[in-house]
Amino acid sequence: MGANIGTSVTNTLVALTQSGKREEFSLAFAGATVHDMFNWLSVLVLLPIEIASNMLYHLTNSITKSINLKRNPNSNPEFLTVITKPLTERIVL
């Protein structure tokens, strides 16, 4: 969730670079504001839920357990391959 707050600062700074062109600045700042509101509302909704119930922890724990990776300190599991392989096998012939 900290990344959400960080991107809110970044997109506002990028929008400010368009300040020389009035119409572009208006559109850039409007887009940045929508992005900021989405990020802040996500944090305001999810953070109290996570603090009260650990829902995100339990959800991500269940997802990672369902992948069924074996723990081996000498191996480097390819998480993205395990997650995306079923989808890519259906799309790529």
CB atoms within 10 A of CB 15: 21
> What pLDDT, on a 0 to 100 scale, did the predictor assign at position 6?
82
**What's the CA gap between 22 and 16, in Å, rounded?**
11
DSSP 20-34: TSHHHHHHHHHHHHH
Q: Which two tokens stand for residue 20?
A: 């020389």
Report the alpha-carbon distance of residue 18 to residue 30 in Å, rounded: 12
**Ranges of residues in the chain whose predicted pLDDT is under 50:** none
Task: Specify the pLDDT at position 4.
Answer: 78
Cβ contacts of residue 24 below 8 Å, gap of 6+?
18
